[in-house]
Chains A and B, each alone.
Chain A
Amino acid sequence: MKTFQLDIVTPTKVISEGQVEYLRAPSTDGLFGVEAGHAPAVIALGIGEIKVMRGTEIIYYSTSGGYADIRQEEVMILAETIEQAKEIDVTRAEQAIQTAKDLLGKDQLDHIPVKNAMERAKNRIQVSRRTELN
């Protein structure tokens, strides 16, 4: 199978995945997949899970949004945060959900950022379960 170069760049680190076969990422309205030879594109990413297939290896990441820059031979993901499934701190995510729930109880607050925070935390927990499957 044909491969393409994948790099994930965040403000704190650069993860160079090397040559991969397949990438699945969450756009703002649904998942999309990339294989070698994809048409050039710029796609905004939403909160969700990134799946990377390299040889027999499957790697999962959680992301809170960013951009995918798809070019001829390479794909670059620019994300603000990215965590590999096995690195996710589930306790911290659960705490974040709890704080968000508490905040939602008070109605004088702006709910949108709180809901976003909750969604991000839920996504992290969901992605962290991926390690148990493998």
Chain B
Amino acid sequence: MANLKEIRDRIKSIKSIQQVTKAMKMVAAAKLRRAQQSMEQARPYTHHLNGLITSLLPEVDRSDLDLLEIREVKRVAYVVITSDRGLAGSFNTNIIKKAQNEIDVIGKDKVDLFCIGKKGRDHFRKREYNIAEQHIEFWNDLDFCHASNIGSGIIGQFLTGRVDEIRVVYNYFKSIASQEIKTATLLPLLYDENNTKRIDRIYEPSKTELVKSLIPKHLNVQIWQFLLESYASEMAARMVSMDSATNNADDLIKDLKLEFNKARQASITKEMLEIVGGAEALS
């Protein structure tokens, strides 16, 4: 049986770890509330902009705009959205695994990576994947300008013809308890070409001009939404994993306390036996 001091020290160290996990859980919960709020605020805009663009797209010719071009897919850009920091359960591992699987199917040398977040960057850099751009350490002051920054880089790659398709791997925020990893295709824009329901309306400036200015905005807003979803998911994942860590620490402390008491009792019994034995020897 372990000695008393050892057990006492272990209990102490677990208690201090528990305090850390508890604090992290609280911080994550507070950040989650804010992240969730801004995510929900952004949803109507994304939704309506999406509605506007899908109602406009069938009215223009694909050949009129560079961004609408559909080419044979020779090179793919992958945007992988991870977090900067760990201790969020399987949040990063899962997304990296999924992204890596998909990339390996296409072939490592046919993919350009846009790494959002340090964890993904570190992983792919170590394995020598082509990293075209990295955006790290901005999650704490997440702003729309980050999304448009990322967006303009991606659009540039598509327009110069370096890549023919752009995919995003991100965590979709389903609920606090569950996040789903999703892959979305950003470019080329796909829509139902057979949708012949035309609305008779005025366009100012022309349809083509409108779509031309709408597409980059649409992409930026989509990326913004992905970032917000991912941030909220990260916080939710961290909160849940820190909560279970705190609970595990509780269980551990309970077990150790039992062990401690057993050891204490055993040592008392031993001492008493010694005293009794000693007294008997004297009499």
Contacts and interface: CB of A to CB of B under 8 A. Distances in A.
Interface in A15-42: 27-29, 32, 39-42
B201 A12 contact: no
Interface residues of B, number: 25
A27 B3 CA distance: 81
A39 B202 CA distance: 7
Interface in A58-108: 67, 69-70, 76, 78, 80
Interface of A: 9-14, 27-29, 32, 39-44, 67, 69-70, 76, 78, 80
Interface stretch (B125-133, B183-191, B213-221, B235-243): B213-221
B53 to A, nearest CB: 10
Interface of B: 38, 41-42, 44-46, 48-49, 52, 56, 144, 199-205, 209-210, 213-214, 217, 221, 224
Given A67-B214, A76-B48, A78-B52, A42 B203 contact: yes
18 contacts: A9-B44, A9-B45, A11-B42, A11-B144, A11-B224, A12-B38, A14-B45, A28-B204, A29-B205, A32-B204, A40-B201, A42-B52, A42-B203, A42-B204, A43-B204, A67-B214, A78-B45, A80-B144
Contacts of A14: 41, 44-45
A69 B44 CA distance: 14
Given A11-B224, A67-B214, A69-B52, A41 B204 contact: yes
Which 9 residue pairs spanning A and B have beta carbons closest together?
A: A41-B202, A40-B201, A43-B204, A11-B45, A9-B45, A11-B42, A41-B201, A14-B44, A9-B44
A12 B199 CA distance: 29
A29 B205 CA distance: 9
A12 B42 CA distance: 6
A44 B204 contact: yes
Contacts of A67: 49, 52, 210, 214
A60 B52 CA distance: 25
Nearest to A14: B44
Nearest to B56: A42
Contacts of B221: 11
A14 B42 CA distance: 9
A100 B144 CA distance: 20
Contacts of A11: 41-42, 45-46, 144, 221, 224
Nearest to B228: A11
B49 A78 contact: yes
Contacts of B199: 40
Given A11-B224, A80-B217, A28 B205 contact: yes
A27 B221 CA distance: 21
Nearest to B207: A42
Nearest to B214: A67
A4 to B, nearest CB: 15
B210 A44 contact: yes
B264 to A, nearest CB: 60
B45 A10 contact: yes
A118 B174 CA distance: 41
